[in-house]
Structures are given as structure tokens and as C-alpha cells.
Amino acid sequence: MKKALFIGLMLCGIVMAKAQNFDQYFENKTLRINYIHAGDVRSEKIVLKEYHAGGIWSGTRAYLNEPNRYGDILFEAFDSISGQTIFTRSYDCLFNEYRTTAQALNESKEFEECINMPFPKNTIKYSFTCFNRKGEGTVLCSGIYNPQSTKTEPFQKEFKVMDLHKGGNPENCLDILFIPDGYSKDDRGKLDTDLKNFTDYIKNCSPYKENLDRVNIHAIKCFSQESGITDPNNHIFRKTTIGSSYNTLQTDRYLMCENVWTMYEVADDCPFDVIVIICNSPKYGGGGIFNFYATVCNGAPQADFVVVHEMGHLIGGLADEYYTSETSVTDYFPEGIEPKEPNVTTLVDFDSKWASMVSPGTPIPTPATKEYNERVGVFEGAGYVAEGVYRPWQNCSMKEVIYDNFCPVCKKVLTEIFDYYSNR
């Protein structure tokens, strides 16, 4: 396998540069590559499965090379003649979380994954590079796609699309897509209410509310065979559209969807940049994976918090800032390595994080006292561990169950994402 080493968080030569002409390389259509990501703690592989194409390309057209590599996987597409990089996207995956669990020490597991990119006019080469927590990358898979000859399945339109908030054209906005799961036809009224409520939760939370002209919110209106969500620990099993389930990675409240290809087939009916699955369940739970998808429960009292917290992971690559939980991970932040997540630091390279936002005279590390409440600092305890990893704020929404309470650092990260999708 070819080895690569990633240094820093910015991709070389593409720091928010509008380097490519979209119309030179791409059609206004989407190409999706489905693949299997499999392995255990010792090894991994990517196995290509199939190609799908259709719809429009709703992502940014100016920043085709993503400026930040917050994800553990880097997908790169190259013009086959010139070799020029014409598209990149980084994202996280459930497989890499699985590798940090005790189960992965003795058991190999397969996960469905996929990547969307603008549809190429000519033949491209592409590669998938997977990074470990030390930032060391391995090119696991590469391929060639010829739009004239490679077997490609067309998108299938099946469901009604609802526009819940219109900020602008898809190519100039962050397009958020709600997919409901576990709503039967008898739950029509509840679904309509929930879609409105979750739209309002996002619209009324800062920094979304200051950037509503750069956000679109859509929903797929689809109904499941049965009402409710699978909850194995309580012996509840439901037949739903995309099979969301609690107890993912043997963590009871971790509510995720492993039927990723089906989820994307449902999403094909609508322009989107990110997917949020709204699950019909009263039990607290959810999850968020950077540039992949997020899940939220509809019935918990803290549903407003859950959706914006999980979207912090989804669109901003933000880390959890709490450090006492049932989350089961090992060696998530290796000693001597600066985390890629923008809201946590090990102080190995703090200058690359929020150092410029800390007021002169603030001690580093910063004591969690009243004196430093509502002040940007460097507070110990974050990313599931109590020592050696630091967060910028005492009680941000990435740490505490408090709605609309993102700290200045997290707000800055999210606002930069709006800049990216709006081509600013």
C-alpha cells in the first residue's frame, strides 16, 4: 500500500483558493461512489461496489478542493490527462469509530460508505486516503471513472421533497436535508409538526440565525412500515425506511444508521450537502459524523439541543467537549499529536487553533473558575478524557446539554462553513 503523511490541517496550495473552473471539468449533476469499508483494529480495506448518477450538484462550485481536512478520510479526484487535482472532500466514518472500541480487537466488521462528487465531463482518476489519529495516511483504494463507459445506475426518484426554509440557490447555500425514520402513515401529523420544530431549532440557534440567507432546509416526506425506532437493549425492533437503531457500537444512546446506501438513495430526491435523520422515538439519543450524516430523536425534552449539537459534528467537524460519558474509545487523542478537530487541543500546536482568540493575561491552561466564565481560554477536559485535552469554553453546547450556547470558537468554525458553501 502506498503511504502518505498528512502534516497540518490545511491542504497544500488550496487555502480557500478558487482554483478550478467548475464548468471546465464538471456537469451540473452528482456522481456517487458506493463502497464497503471493512477491517478491525489492525487492518482495513475499501472495496468498491457501484456508481450512481443524477440530480444536480448542490455543493460549492468555487472551493472544489476542500480547505480543511477535519475528516479521517480524504477523497481526491484527478483529471486523467493533466493529473491536476479537481475535487477533494474529507469526511469521518463510523468504521473509524469502530476501530477504537474493544470489539475491534477481536472482530472484523463491514460498513457501507459512499462519496458524492460533481459529475465529471471526462475520465478521472480518484483515491481514498484513510488517516489514523496520529495523522498518518494510507491510500487504501484508487480507481478510474469514465463517464462514457463505466457502468452507472441512474438516481431513482421516489419521494416528495418539502422546502422548509429557503435561503438561496443550492449552489450558494448549505443545504440541510431532513430524512424521517420510524414514522408510519399514522404519524403524518407528528411528522409535519416535527419537521417544523426541527427547522425552528436550527433557525433560532446562533450562528445559524445570523446566516439564514446562506442556509436551505429541505425534507424528504417518506413513511416507514412500522412506527418507532429499533432499540436492541430494550428488545424493540422496528421495520423502518433506513433502519436507524440505538446501541450503535454497543453504546446505548448512540443512535445511528448503518444502511448508508439506502439512506443516500432516499436522499437522491433532493439537493443536499448534509443529511440529518429525524428518528421517531421518545428515548434520548443521536449522533453526528463530519461530512457524512447526523441523527436526532424527536421525543426527548432536549431535542433542540441534540440537533444543533450533532450538527456541530456534522458540518463543523467539532469534537465533543465532555469527558465523563459512556462513550467507549481508547487512545482517541494520542500523546504528542495535535487533534484535527478545531475546538480541542493537546497544546502540541495550540497556535493552529484558537490561540489568537485568548485575551492577553489569560493563564494557559485556564482554571475553570467564575473569573473565567464566558471567556475564551484553555480548560482541561474534553474529547472523552479528563486530562491532557483542552476545550475553549467552560460550558459550550459541545459540552453541556444547553441549547443555543455555542462558544465563540465553535461559532467561528461554523460561520466559516457557511462561507465555504456560499462561495464567499
Q: What is the pLDDT of residue 331?
A: 59
Q: What is the pLDDT of residue 326?
A: 54
Residue 179 clears pLDDT 90, i.e. is over it:
yes
**Arithmetic mean of pLDDT, 383-400:** 95
Find out whether 238 and 279 touch, Cβ atoms under 8 Å. Answer: no
Q: How confident is residue 4, by pLDDT bands cut at 50, 70 and 90?
A: very low
Q: What is the pLDDT of residue 334?
A: 81
Q: How confident is residue 5, by pLDDT bands cut at 50, 70 and 90?
A: very low
Residue 328 clears pLDDT 90, i.e. is over it:
no
**pTM of the shown model:** 0.92
The dihedral through the CA atoms of 370, 358, 174, 259 has a sign that is negative
Count Cα neighbours of 363 within 13 Å in the Cβ-side half-sphere: 9
Distance CA 283, CA 298 (A): 8
Which cell is 390 given?
A: 483542552
**Arithmetic mean of pLDDT, 80-87:** 95
Residue 153 clears pLDDT 90, i.e. is over it:
yes
Q: What is the pLDDT of residue 16?
A: 37
Please state which of the ranges 3-17, 79-93, 124-138, 164-178 shows the lowest mean pLDDT: 3-17
Q: How confident is residue 135, by pLDDT bands cut at 50, 70 and 90?
A: confident
Give me the phi and psi of 18, to 5 degrees please: -85, 75
Q: Cell 485568548 appears where?
A: 358
- For the segment 46-66, what is each residue's pLDDT rounded down to a tens digit? 999 999 999 999 999 989 998
Residue 112 clears pLDDT 70, i.e. is over it:
yes
Q: What is the pLDDT of residue 69?
A: 85
Tell me: cis bond preceding 271? Omega within 30 of 0 counts: no
Q: At a CB cut-off of 8 Å and minimum separation 6, what does 303 contact?
A: 197, 198, 201, 296, 297
**Arithmetic mean of pLDDT, 243-272:** 95
Which cell is 243 given?
A: 433502519
Residue 315 clears pLDDT 90, i.e. is over it:
yes
- For the segment 267-311, what is each residue's pLDDT rounded down to a tens digit? 998 999 999 999 999 999 999 999 999 999 999 889 999 999 999
Distance CA 158, CA 266 (A): 8
Q: At a CB cut-off of 8 Å and minimum separation 6, what does 274 contact?
A: 174, 175, 176, 177, 291, 293, 294, 311, 314, 315
- For the segment 407-416, what is each residue's pLDDT rounded down to a tens digit? 999 999 999 9
Q: How confident is residue 406, by pLDDT bands cut at 50, 70 and 90?
A: very high
Give me the phi and psi of 352, to 5 degrees please: -80, -5
**Arithmetic mean of pLDDT, 330-340:** 80
* DSSP one-letter code for 10: B
Q: Which three-class secondary structure string do you get for 191-231?
A: HHHHHHHHHHHHHCCCCCHHHHHHEEEEEEECCCCCCCCEE
Residue 7 clears pLDDT 50, i.e. is over it:
no
E-assigned strands of 226-322?
274-279, 286-289, 293-297
Composition of the chain by helix, strand, coil, percent to 5 = 20, 30, 45
Q: What is the pLDDT of residue 325?
A: 56
Q: What is the pLDDT of residue 1?
A: 37
- For the segment 202-213, what is each residue's pLDDT rounded down to a tens digit? 999 999 999 999
Q: What is the mean pLDDT of the chain?
A: 92
Q: What is the pLDDT of residue 308?
A: 97
CB contact burial 281-319 (16+ within 10 A = b; e otherwise): bebbbbbbbbbbbbbbbbebeebbbbbbbbbbbbbbbbb
Distance CA 46, CA 150 (A): 19
Distance CA 198, CA 205 (A): 11
